[in-house]
Structure formats: structure tokens, C-alpha cells
Amino acid sequence: MLTQERKSEIEELVRSVNSGSEQFQLIHATFAIQKLFKDRIKEECLTQIAEIRKKVADCTDLDELKRLRRQAENVRNESDKSVHILVYYIPQLTGNNARITRTKNNTFMIALPQSLEKLRNESGVIDFDKMKKLRYLMAHELAHIVLHYDFVPEKAEKSFTEVEEEEADYFAELLIQMRKERNAQIYDKKHYEDI
């Protein structure tokens, strides 16, 4: 049986987790994008392995067979790779500015304005204007990962084209709209009590 002291400790941890989750609006989308890319990488690797197998079936040269085996091992190693998305809040960004950069090991870093890190005011009430802005910036930067994967810069100084920005805006608007529709279904009074 849980003691009152332990319950209080657990409640404090839950508050911390809940508070922290507010800083990462649309974090569910980051997990979905990571899975999307993991699936895409595996599919590409399976295609490459199938092509290597065809070559092996027709090959009689021992050196070529060794080379194909090394190639297959490299492809298998590639299939274990995944995409990582990290979110940071930095003071240098203000207003509606956010940045995304990419490292060589498939890690994307989304930088958001530090002013959006805390969504609650001093009295604990959520600032919905901040939340809307944060969700939009997150959705927009996530769009660049999905739509412009190969063009995400390694340095923040580089920027996207006007067309790429327009595509990211459209993606963000659709993602937020679909999330609103889903939430409306989930939190409808007749269903909400059953969740």
C-alpha cells in the first residue's frame, strides 16, 4: 500500500512531467516522424538487399561475392539507423523565429524562442497565445524534416527557399487542424468521461 509520503512524491513527479510536456507541444508528431523515417530507411534497405541477392545469385567470381557480402553488411548496418529530433529553447530567438539544423548522424535540432518555454503565467494559467505560437513553430520546423529532409542545413545561418517555407507553412496548418479535429473527438463531453 502506498504511504501518503510516497503518494506526495509521485504527485510531484507527475506535476513535473506534466509541466515539462507543455514545453514540447506536438511532441507526439516528433515520435511519428522518427517512426516514419525508421520505416522509410528499413524499406530502402530491404530493396537494396533484394538487389544484392539478385547479383549474388548470378555471380561466380569469389572476389565479387566478398564485395557483395560487405555491401550487404553495410546496408544492414544502415537499416539500424534512426532519426532523432531534439528541441531546445534559446534566448537568441525572439518572436516567431525558430531554427532547425541537422547533424551528420541524423539528429535534427529544433531551436525555439526561450520566451515560449513556459506556457503558464505567474498565477498558473496557460497563455493560449503562446501555446498557439509554440505549436505552429514546432509544426513548421517538423515540416522541414518531413518535406525537406536532405536540405535541412547543418548551420543555422543557411535558410530555406521561399517555396520550402510556403510548403512548411501549409504542412503546419494541416497538422494543427488535424490535431484540433482529433482533440475535438476525444474531448467531446459524451466521450471524455469514458477515457
The helix (run of H) or strand (run of E) holding residue 111 is strand 107-113
Q: Please tell me what DSSP assigns to residue 86.
A: E
Query: Which tens digits make up the pLDDT trace of 30-71?
Result: 888 888 888 888 899 899 999 999 998 988 888 998 999 999
Instruction: Give the mean pLDDT of 147-163.
Output: 86
Domain count, the chain: 2
Considering the domain architecture, whether residues 96 and 181 belong to the same structural domain is answered as yes
The helix (run of H) or strand (run of E) holding residue 100 is strand 99-102
On whether residue 72 sits in a domain, the answer given is yes
Considering the domain architecture, whether residues 87 and 179 belong to the same structural domain is answered as yes
Tell me the three state secondary structure of residue 124. coil
- The CA-CA-CA angle for residues 12, 15, 18, to 5°, reads 150
Considering the domain architecture, whether residues 45 and 134 belong to the same structural domain is answered as no
Query: Which tens digits make up the pLDDT trace of 24-41?
Result: 777 888 888 888 888 888
Q: Is the pLDDT of residue 195 over 70?
A: no
Residue span of the structural domain in which 110 resides: 83-195
Considering the domain architecture, whether residues 98 and 162 belong to the same structural domain is answered as yes
State which of 63, 80, 97 marks the end of a domain. 80
Selection from 129, 96, 138, 132 nearest residue 113 by Cα: 96
Q: Pairing relation of β-strands 84-90 and 107-113?
A: parallel
On whether residue 67 sits in a domain, the answer given is yes
Query: What pTM, to 2 d.p., does this model score?
Result: 0.78
